Structure formats: C-alpha cells, structure tokens
Structure 1
Amino acid sequence: MSTEATIVLVVVLLAAVLAVGWFVAERLRGRGLRERFGPEYDRRIDRAGNRRAAERELADLRRRHTEFDLRPLSDLARARFTEQWIQTQERFVDRPGEAVADAERLVQAVMNERGYPVGEFGRQAEDLSVEHGRTVGQYREGHDILTRHQHSEASTEDLRRAMVGYREILADLMGPAETADRRYHDATR
C-alpha cells in the first residue's frame, strides 16, 4: 500500500471515529437532558418542533440556572410555609378561587426564599424546570386554571386540580420528605 493510500485510509478512519464520537456525545447529552428535565424535555421538543433546538434551549436554561444562588429552606421558613399551605387548603372549602390564588403566591414566596428569581410566570416555570422538571407541569396547569378562573372559565373541579398541582410543586420545592416538616406531608396526603 502506498503512503498516500495509507494517509487517506487513516484520515477516513479518523473522520469515522470522530463522527461516531460526536453522535454518541449528542445521544448522551440528549439522554442527560431527558433525565434531568423529565416531561419538560418532551414538552420542549413539541414546542420547538425540533429535538436539536429544544436541547439547545434546555442546555441554555441549565447554564442560566447555575447563576442562581439557590439554597434550601431553613427549618423556620419550612414551618412558616407549611402553616401557610395548611391554611390555604382549609380556605379552599369556602373560597376555592382565593385559595388557588394564595397557592400560586405561596409557590412564588417559596421560590423567592430558595433564591429563584420571581417575576413573569413563563420565566419562573422555565427556571423551575431545571430542578423540578417532573412537577413544573402541575405548576403550569395550576397557573392556567387560575387564569381561567379569573375569567370565570374554571369549574370547582378545575380549581381542585390546581390545588393538587400546587401541592406537588410545593412539596418538590420545599425539599425531600426526610427533611420536610411532618405536618406538611400529613396535611397533603
């Protein structure tokens, strides 16, 4: 085999190895994003209409998220938010719409206490999706139901579903069960 043929063969093999490496890296990145974001990954792909664009958006969200100064709740803050949640659930019986609005405000208060930026809802949901991808859908649904309620377009059953969703995102935001206040978990079951 001539020297030129050997060089061409090495270049072709090197290109093939690089292509396979790139393909594997892309697959692993996509798998990592899917595992991190859960259902949010599929939602982004549906919205973007393109896996690559959706993965780029999710990677950007993850990078932005690293800039936050996130912290766990103190025991005092956890107890305070737990008490507020219990009161919000109790209020649902007589004033379901007000209770749902209070639940949304409570999610925002917990986010703020944990160090998340609080502002426009869409941005908040995106920020939560990085660490709370499995429950951020319930937050979105709760917000949607609250918005519909404000236009007299939500039933009491819709409002109940919103409360359940807010309960899930709050439990996720407040932390793992072993560190959460027992009253919260007893009240949410």
Structure 2
Amino acid sequence: MKLVSFFVSFSPFKMSLLGYVVVFFLFCCSYALNLTALFLPKWLTRIIPKPSYSETNYGLFKLCSSLTGECRPFPGPSDCTQEEGFCQLWQAAGAGMILGAVVGTLTIVALLGVMCSNREKRERGWKLVSGMLVLFAVPSIVSFSIIAYLYNTSSIFYSGTKYDQSFIMNSASWCISVILAFSMLLASFIGNPHYYERLD
C-alpha cells in the first residue's frame, strides 16, 4: 500500500504539481548523465598493467592514450579499414547520443511548460511528458546497444578492454527516464477516480 501511495502522489489527479517537480529534478539528473556520457571519452577503456602501464580510453568521438598524453579523432581512417561496418556503427552510436541530447532539451522545455500551466493542462500533461521521456530514452538505448555489440564482437578492442564511466552513465540515464515514464503512466491509472470505482 505504501508503494501505491507513492505513485498516487505523482498522479495528474492528486498533487500533480509536486509530482512534476520531482520528475523534473530526477530528469535533470538523467539528462546531466546523458550529456556527460556524450562528451566524456570513457565508453570503453583498455588497460595494460605494469610494468609497462598504459591506458586507452575510447569515446564516441575521440580516443585518448596515456602513452602519448593526447587524444585523436575516433574512429579514424585507420580504424575504419580494420573492420567493415565498424565506423558506421560507432558513428551511429554517437548520432544517437546527440539526438538524445536534443530530445532531452525539448523534454525539459515540455516539463517546464506543463509545470507553469493551469491545473487542467497539468492533468493532461502527463501524456506529453511520459512520451517525451520515452523518446529521450530510445536513442540512448540504441547507442548503448551498439557499443555493447561492438564491444563483444569487434576485433578492434583487444583483451583487457572493459566498459567505463560513460557507458555506465548512459545506462543509468535511460533507465531513470524509462522508470519515470512508467511511473507517470502507472500513477495516471491509480489516480484516476474511475480506477477506484472499479475496485469498489
């Protein structure tokens, strides 16, 4: 019953403004994780242990090596010739994250618009917001899936390569968004007066 009461607090029919405020701040956290994952070049990391320690970080747009202390564009021409289709998939993952960032901005605008609207519009606003949350999550899930696929199948990533911070932040970002969308959908049914009539 406590879980039901928690979701009802998010309902468009009860305490809707408070629910939207909580969703807004949680989504801002999700969006911050998404942006950090987009720009931080640490989706995959290959570490060669001592005595010749070296660390190579693979980002969506660049590769950084501790040996040279520099970063270069990734994937580069040499990477594309090693394996057919690798560059196209990796670039698709980057494009997915960029699309997710754009949709995330629109989602924040939609949330602010709903929060600043009158009560009647807020009661219907959950449909728009939950839809935008799903649209935000989909490109991130696609990018997540592509990187995971290449990690497991590509010969470019040698032994010792592992998932790193950006991959984990991407996972957390789309998980939070999906949970928020599902919670708003569930709350819309729990908070509906007809729902209680059927239970009676």
Sort the TM-score into its range (normalised by shorter chain).
under 0.3
Report which of the two structures shows the higher radius of gyration computed on alpha carbons: 1
Would you tell me which structure has more strand in proportion to its own residues?
A: 2
Relative CO higher for 1 or 2, CA cutoff 8 Å, sep ≥ 6?
2
* TM norm structure 2: 0.22
* TM norm structure 1: 0.23
Would you tell me which structure has more helix in proportion to its own residues?
A: 1
